[in-house]
Amino acid sequence: MTVEQTSQLIQLILNSTLMVAVCGLVLMGLLVRQGTLQQQLHWINREYREQLMGTAILQGDRFQQLKSQQQELRRHYRQIHASILIAYSALLLLLISSLMLALRSLWNQDWLIPASMVMFAVGNGVMVLSVGMALVEIRSASNSLLGELRDWVQWRDPEGIRPRLTLPRRRSRRVSEKRVNVG
């Protein structure tokens, strides 16, 4: 290989490595979003179970509201999960592209560079698809959150009290203060 070919190969490897890092960051963001949705779903499921068991003091309207929120969160979770799987596919394609470029530096096979560029382009396209799916999910989640807040503000139970999603408070022990005279 000539010096020019070597420098071009290094630039291609750096581009591919940079895209692997970007894809990894996107994947981490998607995993954080999935964790948040999983935590919200856990909270809703717990309150839903309490409503079913009769341990929570909530009205029947709240039961239906919890059921619809549960279904909505499950839909968002499935969407973000699909986006994560697609992002993993993009990461795999970008890693294969880097591997093909590294193999080109070892073997003088000219077909490795165009094949690597195809993998690189497809990997970038798949990553854009994953980010697009995540943006659609986040947009629909913000719309549903605004609707949920609007419903919550408008909803009142027969006693005129708005529902609150709080955990019961534990009694705290007061520690008596002792005054110490100094001097």
In a domain, 164, yes or no: no
Question: Which residue pairs from 70-79 have beta carbons closer than 8 angstroms and sit at least 24 positions apart in sequence?
Answer: 70/41, 70/44, 70/45, 72/144, 73/37, 73/40, 73/41, 73/44, 74/41, 76/37, 76/137, 76/140, 76/141, 76/144, 77/34, 77/37, 77/38, 77/41, 79/133, 79/136, 79/137, 79/140
Q: Is residue 42 part of a domain?
A: yes
Average pLDDT over residues 176-182: 55
Residue 81: the pLDDT is: 96
Residue 140 lies in a domain: yes
What distance in Å separates the CA atoms of residue 22 and residue 95, rounded to the nearest whole number? 12
- Whether residue 38 is contained in a domain is answered as yes
pLDDT for the residue numbered 154: 59
Residues 90-107, mean pLDDT to the nearest whole number = 91
Instruction: Determine if the pTM surpasses 0.95.
Output: no
How does residue 120 score in pLDDT terms, banded at 50, 70 and 90?
Answer: very high
pLDDT of residue 44: 87
Single-letter residue type at 127: M
- Count of structural domains within the chain: 1
In a domain, 86, yes or no: yes
Which of 42-46, 96-100, 143-147 is the most confident on average?
A: 96-100
Please give the residue range of the domain that contains residue 92: 3-154
Percent of the chain predicted with pLDDT > 70: 74
Does residue 171 belong to any structural domain of this protein?
no
Whether 151 shows a pLDDT value over 80: the answer reads no
Average pLDDT, the chain: 80
Question: Across residues 103-109, what is the average pLDDT?
Answer: 86
Model pLDDT for residues 30-69, shown as the tens digit of each residue: 999 999 999 989 988 888 787 777 765 656 677 778 888 8
Please check whether residue 131 lies inside any domain of the structure: yes
Q: What pLDDT does 167 receive?
A: 45
In-domain check, residue 162: no
Q: Which stretch of 34-43, 60-69, 97-106, 161-170 has the lowest confidence by average pLDDT?
A: 161-170
